[in-house]
Structure 1
Amino acid sequence: MMGWYSFVPFMECKHGVVSVNHHINGFLHINEEPIDFAGGKGYIEKDWGRSFPEAWIWLQSNNFDHADASIMISIANIPWLGNNFTGFLGFMYADGQFYPFSTYNGSRIQTCELTPEGLVISIRHQNYILSINATLNRAGVLKAPQSGNMDRHIKESIDSELKVLLKTIEGKIIFKGTGHRAGLEVIEGIFAMV
């Protein structure tokens, strides 16, 4: 997922995606009440390292009306050799096709702003443009790593909505849909860096 950056030993945080979209079945019992996950969908990713970036955006959903779709985008302020740069990685997966967008594959962020209506992101790859309008809904507080300790508190929503449009440079629509129950983290210092 991180391209050649994954081989750099001094990166404070690394990111990987284990599964972009899979089916789940089974039950979870909470206080002796069964919760049925039959016919559910799953997504698994992982982060490891000693610190999360100073500021970032992360969004993910695989809960589209269109059954075979998944998206994840992460934009962050990355410490690098005494300085920082804005790096990003992610993908759109639709109809069995994987469309990567990242700093290392030459993609560029065209728009990244927080408006009264929500978060607006547009990323251009040499062949595609990915546009996202995200609505941030209820958020809970999570602990996050900082200098090797879980001392930082961030807010994450798992109830947000993503309106997604993927099209070719020529304007042909590849995917258009709304992701429900999306994960969304916006650490607002990122907007001064993009």
Structure 2
Amino acid sequence: MIAMFDLKPITALSTPHNGYHWEGGDRRFFEGWYYRVTLPEPRQTFAFMYSIEDPSGGQPHSGGAAQILGPDDQYLCRTFPDVNKFWASTDTLALGHWGDTDLKSAPGYLDSQLFDRFIRQGYQGTDTHHQGRLKDGTRNCSWEYTITPVYGWGQQQSTAGWLSFLPIFEPGWQILMAHGSATGWIDWNGTLYQFTNAPAYGEKNWGGAFPRKWFWVNCNCFDHIPDLALTAGGGKRSVLWWLESVAMVGIHYRGQFYEFVPWNAQVHWQIAPWGDWHIQADNGRFQVSLQATTTYPGTPLRAPTHHGLQFCCRDTMKGEVTLQLRQQGRLILEAHSSLCGLETGGGPWDETWVH
């Protein structure tokens, strides 16, 4: 008998929606989680993406997956067809999926030494700990690190506002940790990366509907400004029987949260199919402008769709971004990074999306 490790209680930095949303039943459903660590030196990023679809099992797209975007945008993917080996807490951020293991007990959070001993393929993560081991063909990755959250999201609020509590607004999206620090190690194909207090980030999405088209800009590793975190994103998603195009920008800096969302600001964007992201927003008191570009081709990633997990988005962690924040027109912050996460997804992307 393997004893499951007790999960830590909700902390002051816990956000809404950090627990697992599935309530049972056979309706089409997915939930996805995103953990990321950025290493200022050697200027590399590891992004871990987990998903579960139709967890009741026995449906065409039932199953889980783990994807990693590694150094220089290299890619690793491992699927987990057995939904019964997936577990997640409905009360706090905690999840995992067991793949290759001899354990016969119900899956759950394990002490790190027990996980290392018994789980040959799989992962587990909470708001303060992340561990796993995956192999995809000739590529393999193993990792373990601790996380110290610095910023949740605003005053620990819903990223998508009060509508995100209702199933009429799908998919839901929540930044779980806009900024944190990670200490530990990652082994990528035999190359060991050890780090202390590296910038860390986390978010999630969930629901029964799937985004039609979207974009995303994210960075918390700016040049010479360690206490700065940016997340911007937008897309077309379902609200009852119609589609709406929405976008937001959120900035954490020196203990302050600058929020630009549809209910308090005007947000404008010009997003190319790939290579250029331009977003401007004004909430009456503050104005933000961000320009992001990349010469990297990006890496196709899988995302949940009505037809299961499909290659339908493109990412790079090698984006260049310049952020300017003004108060009543006066420049109060300008920052730059060449380690920005950039994404476009869904479609169609036949031309620049101007809104």
TM-score bracket relative to the smaller structure: 0.7 to 0.9
* Residue of structure 2 aligned with 1:54, choices 208, 212, 217: 212
TM-score (normalizing by structure 2): 0.50
* % identity of equivalent residues: 22
Within 5 Å, which residues of 2 pair with 1:39-188?
A: 39-65=197-223, 66-104=225-263, 106-114=264-272, 118-138=276-296, 139-147=298-306, 149-168=308-327, 170-187=328-345
Q: Which amino acid aligns with 2:218?
A: Q
Structure 2: gaps of 5 or more residues: 1-158
* Structure 2 match to 1:15: 173
Post-superposition shift, 1:113?
Answer: 4.4
Q: Which amino acid aligns with 2:212?
A: E
TM-score (normalizing by structure 1): 0.88
SS of residue matched to 1:126: coil
Q: Which has the larger strand fraction?
A: 1
Aligned Cα RMSD in Å? 2.3
8 Å Cα contact 1:109/1:122 also seen in 2: yes
Q: Find the aligned partners of 1:28 and 1:192 in 2 and give their Cα distance.
A: 37
1:124-169, Cα deviation, whole Å (9 max, x unpaired): 112111101110242111101112721342111111111000111x
How many residues matched? 192
Q: Which amino acid aligns with 2:265?
A: S
SS of residue matched to 1:64: coil
In structure 2, the CA distance between the partners of 1:153 and 1:189, relative to structure 1 (3 Å rule), is closer
1:25-65, Cα deviation, whole Å (9 max, x unpaired): 11122344321122311111111224441111111000102
8 Å Cα contact 2:271/2:354 also seen in 1: no
- Between Structure 1 and Structure 2, whose CA radius of gyration is higher? 2
Structure 1: gaps of 5 or more residues: none
Q: Find the aligned partners of 2:250 and 2:322 in 1 and give their Cα distance.
A: 15
* Structure 1 match to 2:191: 33
SS of residue matched to 2:169: coil
Q: Find the aligned partners of 1:50 and 1:101 in 2 and give their Cα distance.
A: 26
Q: Find the aligned partners of 1:128 and 1:84 in 2 and give their Cα distance.
A: 28
